[in-house]
Structure 1
């Protein structure tokens, strides 16, 4: 396959298949399509940030709904000939002749010289009534994404993760009215001292439910019936990478189970790249977009190197053949 970006509507074989249609995947596809590569993006249409009304800390896109950004990205990659395929990937396998086979749910399969994994992660939320219903609206994870929107208002941090105390201390940057409710993550003496020094109030007791009024959060209710009024709740969810479809490829992972890549996004498998939250659970959309661009630059250079080697071998064979022909004559 050449690097020319011909009509890709009916293709089943591509230079690159990107799995995942978030900021990281779409930006990788955009760079590669502009490099005249044949590119397909397999997208389930379920971005992690879909529950959020607005995205923040993304230069020129601050305050824009996440789906608006994705729709713009889809239109941009289509302008350069990249194809978006709605669906889910069942399995990624090594191809018999090199490259990879991407098998979709439903039985279809696609071939690619290289694959970019941009499949993100799953947020596993605590089973507290009200958390899931208000996730992305009044219940959040990232202070840099949503802390400003509840600045100077009462904030409750639910202790549900080893990192929860640090989250409470950080949120004190946005408001003087931060309450830490230990729930399943009690404080040790040193952590409690840090809370006191930082001015974070600690209210003991497990949480029973989040209370809403007119569709908006207004308080956290404890098991004994006490309530803590607040304008926002922050919690640190358990994060799990969406890597089941390619877990059988044996890519190197770190001690926490996240894919290991180099700075350009290369995994331990040649031709397999990974960007965004499937690699880094704390990457924001703007970070993932940058990771997608960096991977695309390096990936295209690798494809060029492969093509040079192929062309060089063909050139040498042709020269050798011509020399043999001259000698024989």
Structure 2
């Protein structure tokens, strides 16, 4: 008998959403969370209907309270290993040296953003330096917004940034050279394009971002910068199960592959949220966690049904044998069987 029906590894939006559905379905649920969500540096989560601007820490607090309110458990620890048990199920090892067992595993550990190696960039991450204009450009509307190009996707991001500012600068940096049509598009939209590698950022006396310094020493003024960090899935602890990350089709980094029903290549192990999709927003991660929980519930119910049918058949067979033996014994008593 395993300790839990489901262990959810990761207590961000996807993990707590899945744990909530599972707990309300009356499964024995444990969430393991080390308290380092991807969006921790951000002041608030945006474009989430009825929750716009809510701080990430507050989302975690509310989510934990809802999960535990339905009987789920949450532990402040990190999963460092996982292995399959001989009789079925899994054992998960935690950073504090414990090992807990479960019938199913839901991986929602998210990812780590690797920022471009530009001096001083990390100090502004989650504020004036952000990944997605849709989620964070509003706070810097009508200011000077820069776009740091490190791949083909950033060439279009410069156009997206014009929804919030008429002063957009595309820094080609290490990204590809625009083609003729793209150059024409930038000119038509009034987007400035700066060639050369960016080596650092400049700040004002108040610590605010003021510009990007090129390798030539020239400083181009900006008030905010959107970048495309490389996404690294937090899944190294799954090596013991034979699960490995793969390059994501978007080219933005890697991910833990899972099918549309959240199932991974290892039966009984599911995954949802940013660990499977670096482009998933918080609302998308919430939906993915709930979808994974529904798939896990179906999986567990079918397993329990198979076990119940097998037990009933075994009981019927044993009962039939006893009835037959009793009948034969009764016939002997009455002299009907020599």
TM-score for both structures, normalised by structure 1: 0.92
Instruction: Select which of 3, 27, 30 maps to 1:13.
Output: 3
The aligned counterpart of 1:306 is 303
The aligned counterpart of 2:266 is 269
Q: 1:206 deviation in Å? A: 2.1
Matched, 1:58 2:48: yes
Structure-2 separation of matches of 1:253 and 1:71: 30
Which has more radius of gyration? 2
Matched, 1:182 2:172: yes
Structure-1 separation of matches of 2:280 and 2:154: 18
Encode CA deviations 1:73-108: one digit per residue, 9 max, x unaligned.
011111111111111111111111111111112321
Structure-2 separation of matches of 1:225 and 1:303: 61
Structure-2 separation of matches of 1:208 and 1:280: 30
Calculate the aligned-residue CA RMSD, in Å: 1.7
The aligned counterpart of 2:325 is 328
In structure 2, the CA distance between the partners of 1:63 and 1:264, relative to structure 1 (3 Å rule), is: same
Matched, 1:206 2:203: no
The aligned counterpart of 1:8 is none
Instruction: Select which of 235, 238, 256 maps to 2:230.
Output: 238
The aligned counterpart of 1:69 is 59
Number of aligned residue pairs: give it.
319
Q: Which runs of 5+ in 2 are unaligned?
A: 249-253, 327-338
Q: Which runs of 5+ in 1 are unaligned?
A: 2-11
Equivalences for 1:82-93 in 2 at 5 Å? 82-93=72-83
Q: 1:54 deviation in Å? A: 0.9
Equivalences for 1:223-234 in 2 at 5 Å? 223-234=215-226
TM-score for both structures, normalised by structure 2: 0.89
Q: 1:252 deviation in Å? A: 7.1
Q: 1:241 deviation in Å? A: 0.9
The aligned counterpart of 1:216 is 208
Structure-2 separation of matches of 1:115 and 1:212: 45
The aligned counterpart of 1:147 is 137
In structure 2, the CA distance between the partners of 1:94 and 1:272, relative to structure 1 (3 Å rule), is: same
Encode CA deviations 1:202-226: one digit per residue, 9 max, x unaligned.
0222223222221322222223333
Q: Which structure 1 residue ranges, 4+ long, deviate > 6 Å from structure 2? A: none
